[in-house]
Amino acid sequence: MPTEIKVPSVGESISEVEIGEWRKKVGDAVLEGETLAVLESEKATVDLPSPAAGTLTAIHKTTGQTAAVGEVIAVIDPSVLAGGTLGTTAAPTPPAAPAAPAAPDKVMPAAARVLAEAGVPASSATPTGPGGRLLKEDAQRAAASAAAPAKPAPPSQPAPQAPSPADPNVEIVRMSRLRRTVAARLVQAKSDMALLTTFNEVDMSTVMNLRKEVQETFQARHGIKLGFMSFFVKAVVEGLKLVPQLNAEIRGEDIVYKHFFDIGVAIGGGKGLVVPVLRNAERLSFAGIEKAIVEFAGRAKDGKLMPAELEGGSFTISNGGVYGSLLSTPIVNPPQSGVLGMHTIQERPVALNGQVVIRPMMYIALTYDHRIVDGKEAVTFLKRIKEVIENPSRLLLEA
């Protein structure tokens, strides 16, 4: 019995997806669990696994089309496995030639005259008389049908094609659903929020020396390297405790304060920017944070992040420094009220105790919704980040 392939639920608030790349075509053999297609939602890109082994016999939605959750988009025939090799199907039996219309048993004289005058063969008329006789009325209907002009077939609608650029050196590629959603949300943030960015700089010497000192032991114990992001996640949690407005959101005329710290970490995935969320980051160890981020990054690259992992963050950290960014103004991810931007570490001359010294410095930027966060709170938050990063022992002493 054929198996219908339906669009699965990919998130609580997602009702439809866009069909991405089909990994199989009609007639291909499919193993159970093998990826049939890629589904793109407004939050993530997910693989569609086959629920059964067999042969893909039909595809109802092509790449770029939209399908609702629960809609049938393909069909697999598992019966091809019985007594045969997966993916081999018997040659289709050619359809039988249509039978020629049966001639009537007897054509009445009046009917014969009508057919002769119209030049219509008796076989094209349908007899309605007793015993299969073809009557005059039958002949008249056949003659009238033959005389009527044939209805032209409706013109076939050409498949929509991407506009071809006049310049052959220009390539036009349709934006993915995820990319379109990211674009829309960024524009929404710009238009709906009173965004402002405040900057500070951090001396990374202490953290860098600490990492170097404990890296070998840390990696041997936890099986993962100690990076900078875990320090910043911990510092952000401390900052949010001090400035709860940055861990809140506006709903209508209300401010919703969140007593949990679900920190989103912006990652450049294969299909665009995604922000998986570290749930209850205040409870995670340094190793737990590093492992979660590495896992998120790997699955983002493969397009295997689940929509639930991208929902509900209360604050976001974006690390443009991994790409070499020296300074930027990140954009808030609605409905959150703030985002911290990390940047590349650069040795620069700074004044320290009345002397000019060279230190590995990082600019940090906080973009915030000025409707809920004032400048004083923004500066206080960044100063707290600076204090914790420059003196990580504060995390242990809760100072």
Could you tell me the pLDDT band of residue 102, with boundaries at 50, 70 and 90?
A: very low
- 8 Å CB contact between 6 and 72: yes
- What pLDDT was estimated at residue 270? 62
Nearest CA-CA partner of 125 in 106, 144, 141, 147: 141
Average of per-residue pLDDT across 321-334: 92
The single residue of 28, 47, 77, 374 carrying the catalytic annotation is 374
Amino acid, single-letter form, for residue 399: A
- What pLDDT was estimated at residue 87? 42
Picking from 36-40, 346-350, 366-370, which range would have the lowest pLDDT averaged per residue? 36-40
- CA dihedral sign of residues 387, 374, 250, 14: negative
Burial 221-254 (b: 16+ CB within 10 A, else e): eeebebbbbbbbbbbbbbbbeebebbbbbbeeee
- What pLDDT was estimated at residue 222? 96
pLDDT in tens, 200-211: 999 999 999 999
> Is pLDDT at 9 greater than 90 in this prediction?
no
User: How high is the mean pLDDT of the chain?
Assistant: 85
CA 202 → CA 205, 282, 322, 365, 384, distances in Å? Answer: 9, 22, 16, 11, 11
- What CATH number was assigned to the domain covering residues 178-397? 3.30.559.10
28 annotated active-site:
no
Burial 334-345 (b: 16+ CB within 10 A, else e): ebbbbbbbbbbb
Average of per-residue pLDDT across 216-221: 96
> Is pLDDT at 43 greater than 80 in this prediction?
no
> Is pLDDT at 232 greater than 50 in this prediction?
yes
> Is pLDDT at 83 greater than 50 in this prediction?
no
**CATH fold for the domain made of 3-81:** OB fold (Dihydrolipoamide Acetyltransferase, E2P) (2.40.50)
> Is pLDDT at 256 greater than 90 in this prediction?
yes
Highest mean pLDDT pick, 24-38, 136-150, 368-382: 368-382
Could you tell me the pLDDT band of residue 1, with boundaries at 50, 70 and 90?
A: confident
Peptide bond into 168 cis (omega under 30): no
pLDDT in tens, 359-394: 999 999 999 999 999 999 999 999 999 999 999 988
Could you tell me the pLDDT band of residue 93, with boundaries at 50, 70 and 90?
A: very low
Average of per-residue pLDDT across 78-98: 49
CA 163-164-167 angle, to 5 degrees, is 135
Average of per-residue pLDDT across 29-38: 89
Average of per-residue pLDDT across 16-32: 89
> Is pLDDT at 297 greater than 60 in this prediction?
yes
- What pLDDT was estimated at residue 174? 81
The single residue of 47, 77, 222, 370 carrying the catalytic annotation is 370
Give residue limits of the domains in the chain: 3-81, 178-397
Picking from 91-105, 177-191, 203-217, 254-268, which range would have the lowest pLDDT averaged per residue? 91-105
60 annotated active-site:
no
- What pLDDT was estimated at residue 243? 97
CA 209 → CA 203, 218, 300, 344, 389, distances in Å? Answer: 12, 14, 31, 17, 12
- What pLDDT was estimated at residue 92? 44
Higher pLDDT, 130 or 238: 238
Query: What are residue 274's DSSP bridge partners?
Result: 267
- What pLDDT was estimated at residue 84? 43
pLDDT in tens, 272-288: 678 999 999 999 999 99
CA 93 → CA 27, 56, 99, 143, 214, distances in Å? Answer: 16, 19, 17, 37, 72
Using CA atoms, how far apart are residues 324 and 347, in angstroms rounded to an integer?
13
